[in-house]
Amino acid sequence: MYLQVKSVLDFLFGLVLFVLTIPLLIVLSVLVYFMIGSPVFFLQTRLGRNGKPFRIIKFRTMKPVTEQLKTDKDRLTKLGAVLRKTSLDELPQLINILKGEMSFIGPRPMLVEYWDYFREEERVRFDVRPGMTGYAEVIGRHELPWDDQFRLDAEYVHRLSFTTDLKIFFKTFPKVLNSRKVKSIGRKQNIRLDELRKKNG
């Protein structure tokens, strides 16, 4: 029952927030265009509810790969670092929410190539739509090992309620504001899930 209510709340709140942030979205789009380049938006296929793929939308934060700029660390721009630290790079995901592909609160959307590497008990995270923020995010924010993140994702799904979502929502802002550094990719081990689980069998 709450999932249906959650979908309606996501759409209504998303619509209001999208309208209110249009000026900010325009300003950030202009900054990204002139300081990083075109295209302004970064699109990537991720896993949605029930494992259905969708295209996530973010502001671009990195320069293209070149001979001089090969790693994510080298490609990440100063503006991109600020956008990531403040999570403003994820503001365009309001469009994903309005399209019904994401929620404000939920497990973070994973890369499609990770699908085969989720254990059976971890796939419960796909019973709900992925979120802009979530339970694991407010606890660890990029610092958790994969196993811990998926354990928290499953715990969130089992405890899903309006009260749980409200607590996560209000814990998100201080977590973002207190973020002192930006992780370019991955978790604490700085390794992709598929690479980790191939390595560990």
Name the residue type at position 136. A
Quick one: three-class SS letters along the chain?
CHHHHHHHHHHHHHHHHHHHCHHHHHHHHHHHHHHCCCCCEEEEEEECHHHCEEEEEEECCECCCCCCCCCHHHHECHHHHHHHHHCHHHCCHHHHHHCCCCEEECCCCCEHHHHHHCCHHHHHHHHCCCEEECHHHHHHCCCCCHHHHHHHHHHHHHCCCHHHHHHHHHHHHHHHHCCCCCCCCCCCCCCCHHHHHHHHC
Max Cα separation, the chain? 53
- Predicted local confidence at residue 139, as pLDDT: 85
Rg (CA), the chain: 17
pLDDT at 185: 40
Phi, psi torsion values for 57, nearest 5 degrees: -120, 125
User: What pLDDT was estimated at residue 143?
Assistant: 73
What is the structure's pLDDT at 152?
A: 94
For the chain, list residues with pLDDT below 50.
180-186
pLDDT digits (tens, 9 = 90+) for 42-100: 999 999 999 999 999 999 998 876 656 667 777 889 999 999 888 899 999 999 999 99
Q: Is the pTM of this model over 0.85?
A: yes
